[in-house]
Structure 1
């Protein structure tokens, strides 16, 4: 039986032939396992669409929850009509989704997102295909998924904090790190340390979908990353970066995800040493923005610096050159410390500045992983980077406030900014430190 969360359809890739799938009137429709997936063949006796139907029962639907149906289909003749329904499996057959599409002779994918009006454990996904002529429709894949913010964000079971806990279960700091950091959802970062980015992104997003939660990912492999600073590295060439982006996007598949795109890359763009380097940065940012924007279930947020870095008009100009028109989403304060209200105000200013230059309706998220005490130290000085003392965990990943779409833990609490500030020895950027984690928990 299919589950309540994640992928609700069993054998939706037809690896087990037609198992779990039924066909209606045997004189009008038959299903069989074919080389391309499931072959459904209607006879001339099937005059109306509903005369030839097939599908799967036992679908669990919850009222008010958002679902996404995806299918890939082709037909033996052009302009074949196919009615797609997600509905009650018995009278009165009320439908939560009812679409009629035209299928051609080449594989075509369809994606439909809907909010269920039904609350049932006996739902049904069905397809109707009577054409009054013999026709075969081949389904390569069918998926019905629910992964929305309403269902929650995915908790990374292999975060750096979780790995440290596995190795240090008796450490006196372990209980508070486990309870306050490791059990809360934050972003998984992917970069030049990721051995096979397509496979690892696929594995991570699939695990989130199976749990019915939304994964937060950070793509962090920009060519000349961090402009050679503490987090230097990234793709060795622009061409290598584009290839990496293609693999990252392929790993997402057709599943929901939140992707934070290349922190600091656009805010730092004008500090690159040559006009050619700056032009390349904007080109690569536009490339990844467009690639992610082509995924309808992915929310991609481009780097927009922080409230104390660039003025809104300047940051907006750099966002435009970096492809924000494709995603219409930006991320503010990644790995920073500015309080949520200050970041919200900056986000609202950026939204207005972008609208003024022809990019309206932009949404933003804020990194709240370390902003619980804001960014002012005891001497009234603004702290911006490199493991400063006196910082505290902020609001855990949640629905946003103050105009923000979401508040997210993007920087993983306890992961070092580099060998600086209060970081102990041997804690380069990205390394988990229980010392830093405890200081964030205690606000010291």
Structure 2
């Protein structure tokens, strides 16, 4: 029902989290790496005898030989000074890397002596373009003698050069949960939104100025799912300029397996539970300690009734619990909002049942609820619905209302009334308050819900005809 197809996406890296630029630092986080910027030297870093290292324009440069058999036959890393790893603590490893040829490499955080037990062991794929990688992980043992390594050997393709920069290993345990609204001033306008991309690709279309002024220039969320080949790079492209401008980014996580089980127009999601958990870990680590809002998995609570197998419903709750807990632990300045359906769907389910689903999904770890996402119910109706739903929860939650398309309320379509109903209208632009914690454009106005009613475009594709309908409707 909600799938967003990005107009332009960058090339994917095969593994890990990719974030161009420098990693953020939280005030309570502890930096474990010394000389991670290589401004003047490679002090505190080492390379195996066959992999000499040097400084190259403020980066560590490693000359990696060909013909090695194992990944660890060519290494660079830091083990002096050794650093502590605490069991159960939360860490984010981040670094910039590139190579003279595409390679899939390995990074570890491990004991610096036999048996070299690792608490992090992750592949990452470099290209000739400098990219930032980040990995969130939980300390698996207690030691004061840990090391960081980059395993560069054991590859076909011969010798190559590897560059490394801006290395950070943060212990974020104890970082206080922050208020992202208080840390910013207003909401971010997405410069790469689907309507912005349509305007860029259609410079001679007479509708472009109207769409830009009324729609594309307004704050709205950016959606992330499996169609984004390099999620962390896209998160960085969206978040970094927003934070630099003092604006609050709004993101939507939409990749749960069995997505859109009821509607079907946006079916898909991660391949399995493990893949989803890896994806969520990537998502949270990509945000890190920066302020953000994340709407977690629209439809995921509402369409549980359309999941036939009990085992799959159990997995759904397991994944939602993991998502909300992971954002809480690895993105402490992010407010998450759990899917709480909409007035029509919620009353059909019955509020006691809906509240039970939310509890099973771990709503206690969410900052709040998200109602009316991608739907059309009036704001006052949605506020009344969320308020009544809150009376069934153990602890009432603040909530946001999606006002992107609710200026005239629901349509009158006989088939799939939620899917591109005709003659709808833009709602209130993003703002704090308005009867809820915030009113937000969560759905991108003009993006199709699927091939239905007022649009012939697939789900998530920007439709300028839909956009003009929303703008011009009276």
Q: Answer yes or no: same fold by TM over 0.5.
A: yes
Q: Could you tell which deviates more after superposition, 385-394 or 105-114?
A: 105-114
- Is the Cα–Cα contact under 8 Å of residues 376 and 382 in structure 1 kept in the other structure? no
Using structure 2 for the length normalisation, give the TM-score: 0.62
User: Hey, what does 1:3 align to over in structure 2?
Assistant: none
Matching residue of 1:152: 186
Gap runs ≥5 in structure 1: 1-5, 20-31, 37-73, 78-103, 116-145
- SS of residue paired to 2:336: strand
The answer to whether the 8 Å contact 2:224/2:254 transfers is: yes
Q: Which residue of 1 aligns with 2:464?
A: 434
Q: Does 1:421 align with 2:453?
A: yes
- Which whole-Å CA distance do the structure 2 matches of 1:243 and 1:8 have between them? 23
Aligned residue in 1 for 2:231: 197
The total of aligned residue pairs comes to 324
* Alignment partner, residue 151 of structure 2: none
Give the secondary structure class of the aligned counterpart of 1:290.
helix
Q: Secondary structure at the match of 1:308?
A: helix
**Aligned counterpart, 2:200:** 166
Deviation track 1:95-134 (CA, whole Å, cap 9, x = no partner) reads xxxxxxxxx979644646899xxxxxxxxxxxxxxxxxxx
- Indicate how the Cα distance of structure 1 residues 376 and 414 shifts in structure 2: closer, same or farther if over 3 A, else same: closer
Classify the secondary structure of the residue corresponding to 1:152: coil
User: Does structure 1 residue 178 correspond to structure 2 residue 222?
Assistant: no
Corresponding residue of 1:299: 335
Using a 3 Å threshold, how does the CA distance of structure 1 residues 35 and 258 change in structure 2: closer, same or farther? farther
Residue in 1 aligned with 2:362?
323
Alignment of 1:376-391 (within 5 A): 376-377=411-412, 384-391=417-424
Which of the pair has more CA radius of gyration?
1
Distance 2:411 2:341 in 1: 17
| Distance across 2 between alignment mates of 1:226 and 1:76 | 45
* Matches of 2:327 and 2:215, distance apart in 1: 29
Equivalent position SS for 2:338: strand
Question: Equivalent residue for 1:392?
Answer: 425
Change (3 A) 1:197 1:376: closer
Pair 1:343 & 2:382 matched: yes
The 5-angstrom pairing of residues 44-443 of structure 1 reads: 108-109=171-172, 111=175, 148=182, 151-227=185-261, 229-294=264-329, 295-310=331-346, 311-354=350-393, 358=394, 360-377=395-412, 384-402=417-435, 404-423=436-455, 425=456, 427-443=457-473
- TM-score if structure 1 supplies the norm length? 0.66
Separation in 1 of the partners of 2:178 and 2:296? Answer: 27
- Structure 2 regions of 5+ residues with no counterpart? 1-23, 46-80, 85-142, 147-169
Specify which structure has the bigger relative contact order, considering alpha-carbon pairs within 8 angstroms and separated by 6 or more residues: 2
Change (3 A) 1:325 1:8: closer
Tell me: CA distance 1:158–1:201, structure 2 relative to 1, closer, same or farther (3 Å): same
Distance 1:419 1:367 in 2: 22
- Tell me if the contact between 2:288 and 2:332 (Cα under 8 Å) persists in the aligned partners: no
State how far apart, in whole Å, the 2-side matches of 1:265 and 1:182 are: 27
Question: Counterparts of 1:76 and 1:339 in 2: how far apart (Å)?
Answer: 55
Taking the aligned partners of 1:7 and 1:382, their CA distance within structure 2 comes to 50
Query: 2:199 is paired with a residue of what secondary structure?
Result: helix
Instruction: Return the alpha-carbon distance in structure 1 between the equivalents of residues 178 and 294 of structure 2.
Output: 22
Q: Is the 8 A contact 2:399 2:438 kept in 1?
A: yes
Return the alpha-carbon distance in structure 2 between the equivalents of residues 152 and 399 of structure 1: 9
